[in-house]
Structure 1
Amino acid sequence: MKTESIRTRGAESSGSISVHDQKREHILAVAEDLFYRNGYAGTTIADIVRELGVTKPFLYYYFSSKSDIFETLCWRASHACLTAMHFKPDDERAAIDKLREGLHRFAAANVSYFKSGTFAYREGGALDPAFMKKLRTMARRFYKELCALLEQARNDGELDFDDAKLTALSIGSIAGFMYTWYKPGGRIGPEDMVKELTRILMKIAGAYSQPASAASKIGRGRNAGRAIRNPSI
C-alpha cells in the first residue's frame, strides 16, 4: 500500500481530480500546516488566505469557517485511522492476516495524515462536542474490531498476549504520540516507516514471528549512533 494512496484514493477511482477539488485540497494542505505549527487558536482565516495568496471570499466559497476547515481535516484523518479494522462480513481470511493488513492500513493512515491526525488529541477543546462524540463513537468501534481480531488470532494460536483491551490500547496509542517523535522527511522514508511500524505493532500484538522488512535494518551501524543523538525520526 502506498501511503499517499489514502489521500488520493477518491481521485484515482474517478481517474482525475477536478479543478474545484484541487483548489479545495490546496486550502486544506495550507491550513493543515498552519494549524499544526501554530495551533487552532494561533491560526486565523487571515493567516490562511495570506499564506494562500487569495482573498477571504475565495476561501469562503469552499469552506464556511475556520472550524469547518479544522473539522474537515480532523474527520478525514480520524476516519482513515479508525476504519483500518473494517473488513467485509464475507472476508474469510484468517484473523492474523486481517490483523496484519489492518495494522498496515492503520500505520499508513497515521503516516499519511501525520499532521491533522494530531489535532483531535492536541486541540480537542476547539472541536464541537457533537463532533467529538462522533469521533469517540468511531474510536470505540475501532477498538471493538481490533480486540475481536486479536482474540480470534490468539485463539488460532497466532498471538501471545494476556489482555486484549490493554493490547489494543497500546497499539492505538501510537496515534497519540507520533507527533512527539516522527519527522516527515527524516532518515526513514514514509514507505519504510509504514513497514517498520506495522512490524512493531504486530510485535505489540504478540505475534510469534514476523518477516524481517527492509526497514528493520535501518538504524543499524553508523545510523544507530545518529539515531541515539537525534531521537526524532
Structure 2
Amino acid sequence: MTSKHVDNANRAALSRAKANGHNGEAISSKEPVAVPQERPLKFRDEVAQLKRDRIVDTAADLFYEHGYANTTLDAVAEQMGFSKAFIYSNFSSKPELLVEICIRGVAHVHEAVEGALNLRLDTRTTLALVVERYVSSVLKYQKYIAVYTREEKSLPVDEAIRANEKRRQFFSMIADFIERGRDEGVFKSDDPLLSALTLGGSVTWMAFWYREGGRLQPHEIASNITRSTMLMLGAADADK
C-alpha cells in the first residue's frame, strides 16, 4: 500500500471517529460506559407495585370471607407468609388498606363502562356493550366490589365522601346516556337516573351471589340483564 493510500485510509478512519463523537481522540477499550438507570428504577417500581397488589388482593379475600371488622393485619400478614412489618411498609393502617380496595374496585368498573360509552356506537349496541363490560368488570373484581358495598360504612369520613362522589359521577354518566337514548326516541324513561340506579343495583348485586361454575355464565347474565334493561326502558324492539 502506498503512502497516499495510507493517508486516505487514516483520514477515513478519523472521519468515522468524529462521526461517532470521538473528535479524533484515541478510543480506549477501558473507557467507562454509562449504564442506563431507567430500567433498574422501573424494575424496582414494578416490584414495589407487585407487593402492594398482593397485599391488597389478600386483604380483599379476607375482608370478603370474614368481614372487615373480623380481619386483622396480623391475619393478612399470616395469610401471605410475611410479618406485619411487611404490611406496614406499604400501608399505614387497616383503614388505608380498605380505602385502596374500594378505590380500585370503583375505578375498574368506571373505566370499563366509560370505555364502552366513548365508542359512540348506536344506542342499542352501546347499551348491550355497557352491560357486558359492567358485568365483566364486577365479576372480575367481585371481591373488591362486594367489600366496597358491604364495608363502605367503615371508610374514614373523608374517603366515604370521596367514594360517594365517585359513585354519583358513575351513575350520572349512565343516566346521561339513557337520557340521550330517550331524546333519540329509542328509550322511554321518566327518570333516567332512577333507571341507571336500577341497572346498577342488578349488576352490583352479582358480587354477592355469583359463583364461578354456577348455572349461568357471565355472558348469559349480561344478555339477560341487557334484555331486562331494554324492557325497563321501553325499547321498541326489546323482544328481538
Q: Report the TM-score, using the length of structure 2 for normalisation.
A: 0.69
* 1:70 alignment partner in structure 2: 98
Letter in 2 for 1:99: L
How far apart, in 1, do the equivalents of 2:115 and 2:197 lie?
20
1:150 pairs, out of 163, 172, 178, with 178
Supply the distance in 1 between the matched residues of 2:110 and 2:122 (Cα, whole angstroms): 21
Distance 1:202 1:115, change over 3 A: farther
Which structure is richer in relative contact order (CA contacts within 8 A, separation 6 or more)? 1
Structure-2 separation of matches of 1:38 and 1:90: 38
* Equivalent residue in structure 1 for 2:71, among 43, 46, 59: 43
Q: Does 2:160 align with 1:103? A: no
Residue identity in the other structure for 1:51: Q
SS at match of 1:18: helix
Q: Residue 25 in 1 paired to residue 53 in 2?
A: yes
Post-superposition Cα deviations, 1:83-106, rounded to whole Å, max 9, x if no partner, equal 444369986543444333333222
User: Aligned in 2, Cα 1:176/1:138: closer, same or farther, shift over 3 Å?
Assistant: same
**What does 1:167-206 correspond to in 2, within 5 Å?**
167-190=195-218, 192-206=220-234
Q: Highest Rg: 1 or 2?
A: 2
Counterpart Cα distance in 1 of 2:201 and 2:151: 17
Rounded Cα–Cα distance in structure 1 between residues aligned with 2:164 and 2:119: 26
> Which residue matches 2:153?
125
Partner letter of residue 174 of structure 1?
Answer: S
Aligned residue type for 2:87: L
Q: Amino acid of the residue matched to residue 25 of structure 1?
A: D
Q: What is the Cα deviation at residue 116 of structure 1?
A: 1.4
- Residues 113 and 205 of structure 1: is their aligned pair in 2 closer, same or farther, counting only changes over 3 Å? farther
| Gap runs ≥5 in structure 1 | 1-13, 213-233
Distance change in 2, residues 1:161/1:181 (3 Å): same
Residues 167, 205 of structure 1: 8 Å contact kept: yes
Q: 1:80 aligns with which of 101, 108, 120?
A: 108
Residue range with higher mean Cα deviation, 79-88 or 63-72: 79-88
Deviation digits for residues 141-164 of structure 1 (CA, Å, limit 9, x no counterpart): 122221111121122232244432
> What is the CA–CA distance in structure 2 between the aligned matches of 1:149 and 1:52, rounded to whole Å?
43
Residues 1:186 and 1:22: Cα distance change in structure 2 (over 3 Å): farther
Aligned residues: 197
Cα distance change on mapping 1:81 and 1:198 into 2, 3 Å: farther
Alpha-carbon RMSD across the aligned residues, in angstroms, is: 3.0
* Shift of residue 28, structure 1, vs aligned partner: 1.6
> Cα–Cα, structure 1 residues 54 and 198, in superposed 2: closer, same or farther, change >3 Å?
farther
Deviation of 1:197 (Å):
4.2
More divergent stretch after superposition (168-177 vs 30-39): 168-177
Supply the distance in 1 between the matched residues of 2:182 and 2:118 (Cα, whole angstroms): 21
Shift of 1:203: 4.3
Structure 2: 5+ residue runs without aligned partners?
A: 1-41
Cα distance, 1:60–1:205 mapped onto 2, change above 3 Å: farther
Counterpart contact for 2:73–2:84, Cα < 8 Å: yes
TM-score, normalised via structure 1 length: 0.71
2:117, 2:181 → 1: CA distance?
Answer: 17
Cα 1:208/1:107, change in 2 over 3 Å: farther
Aligned to 1:60: 88
Q: Shift of the alpha carbon at 1:49?
A: 0.7
Distance in 1 (alpha carbons) for counterparts of 2:216 and 2:96: 33
Report the Cα offset of residue 172 of structure 1: 1.2
